[in-house]
Amino acid sequence: MAAGTLNSRSVLQHGFGNVTGTTVPLVPVASVPAGQRIGVYALLVTVSAAVTVTVQDSGGAALSQAFQLAANGSIALDVNANGDPWFQAGPGMGLQLALSASATVGFDIYWLPTL
């Protein structure tokens, strides 16, 4: 089994929040074990205003396309059938959302640190 792939013994970490701004922290760098990478296995995002949303690592590198959302729009990414993560940050990096304008963002994220 490849590193970073879910199995029956995997215990996903869960984070959630409601934040207003142009940068929304999903997984702070302080939560990332040294030398490990964060894999995102499920993500739900809702926004209060029409914005473009990009998943980034904490260094600002884009990990996703720019999702164009209408006011009260959402993104829902469920666990992949093959167990692979949707996004993976670099070693020691956290995760954040970058917005094209300030908006209130609600999120739920399920992630797992991997080597």
Mention the CATH class of domain 14-114.
mainly beta
Domain range list for the chain: 14-114
Taking only the tens place, the pLDDT of each residue in 82-98 is: 989 999 999 999 999 99
The pLDDT value recorded for residue 57 is 93
Torsion of CA 11, 54, 45, 3, to 10 degrees: -10
Average pLDDT over residues 62-70: 96
> Long-range contacts for 33-36 (Cβ within 8 Å, ≥24 apart)?
33/113, 34/92, 35/91, 35/92, 35/115, 36/91, 36/92, 36/113, 36/114, 36/115
